[in-house]
Every structure is written in structure tokens, then in C-alpha cells.
């Protein structure tokens, strides 16, 4: 079956530090890959996506590249801000199956 | 605001009671999904509708759970004879599907259920 594995958290960084959150997946076919973010007290929001191999999704300074050879979709940001503190979920959508499969999520805390 | 809305936002109930949640999707979206999220975990798929048809149900959806989308617009999720293990955040999402193509899912704020 499909699965998403995220690195263990939580992660605490200082403002302006570089961020990498690892995500690997197992899926049949050619999935689309997503990063969702959940800010405190709010619902899940789509952060970025990539629909095929070598695509790079980007939004709000975050980037992730769909790597088919390593089945990975790692999230990066060059300089984090306090406002980036949230829970980040990696997810996939595979083929005609419409359901998203999520990783466990990782909590990011950015201190001033 | 034309996003996905869910009501109520919070529900506390006693074990054995029935509860019903409502989801109003983005108006032009023909697909509607229900997920459940427990503490420290990612959301898990429960079921989804295309228009009024329920097309898939997860094995997580026991026979105490029922979902409807009678007119292809809003949806309700009912849990009968609630158990403490049903305590979770119930998330609704909607998307637009055209032919075989399904576009990104937009999530509502969720209904947090606490069963005492």
C-alpha cells in the first residue's frame, strides 16, 4: 500500500536558520506529492505540490523537489521566520485513488 | 469566506451518545472527503463522495459511522454509540475532479470530538 515517512520531530530552529524536513514515500504508479501546513488553531493548508518527477514545488520561500529515484520530497527553506512555526505534513495522492496519504507530521518551532 | 466550513468546531459528548457533524464544501467542488486525525498523527482517510455518490470507504469506518451527501452539496458524518476511541479531530476536504484528473484538496478547520 501507499505510505509516507517523515523524519522524527520536533524541530527547533533559530530565526534565519536553514530548514530541511525529510519525506520519503512508497506508492504504486506515479503519485502527486504535497506539503501541507497546519498553523496553531487553524486547518490544514496546502503549502506546495509537485505532480511528476523532477518537478519543484515552491511557495512562501519553501521548496521541495520530486525525486523519483530516491522516492523523496524533502521540504527546504533558506531562512525560517518565527511565523513559520507550525506542523508540516507530507502527503501523496496516487493514481485514480483520490485519498491523500499523510505522514505523521513534524512540529517546527522557530525562536527569535 | 468561500472556503470549506465545518460545524460544530468542538463537540463534547458522553460515551454511548450519537453525534453528527456537518461539512459545507467549496461550492463548485464535486468531491468531498472525510478524514480523522488523532493527536500526533497525520490525517487518515475515512470516506469520499463524488457529487452524492459515496465512492470509497476506509476500513477505519466501522458500521457505527455513516456519512451522507444527499444533494451533492453539504455532507454529514454521524457516529452512533460513541466510544472513547472516537475522540479525534474530524476533517472535511473538498476538491474539483474532471474526468480522471483530481485537483488539490482544500481542508476545513475540523470538528474536535471529545468522548468522555
A70–chain B Cβ distance below 8 A for any pair: no
Q: What is the mean pLDDT of residues B70-79?
A: 94
Cross-chain residue pair B107–A43, CB shorter than 8 Å: yes
Count Cβ atoms below 10 Å from residue A18 Cβ, excluding itself. Answer: 10
A105 at B interface, C-beta within 8 A: yes
Cell output for B57: 470507504
The residue-averaged pLDDT of A45-65 equals: 95
User: What pLDDT sits at residue B102?
Assistant: 67
| Cβ <8 Å between A98 and B33 | yes
pLDDT digits (tens, 9 = 90+) for A58-99: 999 999 999 999 999 999 999 999 999 999 999 999 866 578
What is the pLDDT, as a whole number, of residue B25? Answer: 96
Instruction: Residue A97: list chain B partners with CB under 8 A.
Output: 56
pLDDT tens digits, one per residue of B47-70 = 999 999 999 899 888 899 999 999
Question: Nearest 5 degrees, angle CA B37-CA B111-CA B88?
Answer: 35
Q: Determine the residue among B4, B25, B32, B43 to mutate to test chain A binding: the one whose Cβ has the most chain A Cβ atoms within 10 Å.
A: B43
pLDDT (0 to 100) of residue B24? 97
Given CA atoms B94, B58, B68, A104 in this order, what sign does their dihedral have? negative
Q: How far is CA A50 from the centre of its chain?
A: 11
pLDDT of residue B86 exceeding 60: yes
Kindly state the helix (H) or strand (E) to which residue B50 belongs, with its residue range. strand B44-50
Alpha helices in A1-112 (DSSP H): none
Asked if B108 has any chain A CB less than 8 Å from its own CB, the reply is yes
B25 touches chain A (CB under 8 A): no
Contact indicator for B54, A112 with CB cutoff of 8 Å: no
**Cβ partners under 8 Å of residue A61, min gap 6:** A77, A78, A79
Taking contacts as CB-CB distances below 8 angstroms, the residues of chain A near B110 are: 43
- Contact (CB<8Å) B56/A99: yes
User: Is it the case that residue B100 has pLDDT exceeding 70?
Assistant: no
pLDDT at B32 over 80: yes
Q: Please say whether the dihedral angle defined by the alpha carbons of residues B81, A41, B27 and B44, taken in this order, is positive or negative.
A: negative
By C-alpha distance, which of A32, A9, A10 is closest to A101?
A32
pLDDT of residue A29: 81
Distances (CA, A) of B50 to A23, B33, B61, B70: 30, 9, 18, 11
Would you say A89 and A103 are in contact if contact means Cβ atoms under 8 Å apart? yes
Amino acid at each position: 500500500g501507499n505510505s509516507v515517512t517523515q523524519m522524527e520531530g520536533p524541530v527547533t530552529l533559530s530565526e534565519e536558520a536553514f530548514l530541511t524536513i525529510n519525506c520519503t514515500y512508497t506508492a504504486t504508479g506515479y503519485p502527486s506529492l504535497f506539503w501541507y501546513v497546519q498553523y496553531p488553531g487553524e486547518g490544514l493548508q496546502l503549502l506546495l505540490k509537485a505532480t511528476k518527477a523532477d518537478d519543484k514545488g515552491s511557495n512562501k520561500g519553501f521548496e521541495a523537489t520530486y525525486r523519483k529515484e530516491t522516492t523523496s520530497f524533502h521540504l527546504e527553506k533558506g531562512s525560517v521566520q518565527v511565523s513559520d512555526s507550525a506542523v508540516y505534513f507530507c502527503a501523496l495522492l496516487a493514481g485514480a485513488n483520490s485519498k491523500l496519504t499523510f505522514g505523521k507530521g513534524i512540529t517546527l518551532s522557530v525562536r527569535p | 469566506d468561500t472556503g470549506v466550513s465545518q460545524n460544530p468546531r468542538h463537540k463534547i459528548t458522553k460515551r454511548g451518545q450519537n453525534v453528527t457533524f456537518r461539512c459545507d464544501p467549496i461550492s463548485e467542488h464535486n468531491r468531498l472527503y472525510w478524514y480523522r486525525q488523532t493527536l500526533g498523527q497525520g490525517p487518515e482517510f475515512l470516506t469520499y463522495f463524488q457529487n452524492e455518490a459515496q465512492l470509497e470507504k476506509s476500513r477505519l469506518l466501522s458500521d457505527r459511522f455513516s456519512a451522507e451527501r444527499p444533494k451533492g452539496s453539504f455532507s454529514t458524518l454521524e457516529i452512533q454509540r460513541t466510544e472513547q476511541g472516537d475522540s479525534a479531530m474530524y476533517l472535511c476536504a473538498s476538491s474539483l475532479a474532471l474526468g480522471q484528473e483530481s485537483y488539490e484538496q482544500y481542508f476545513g478547520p475540523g470538528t474536535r470530538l471529545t468522548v468522555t
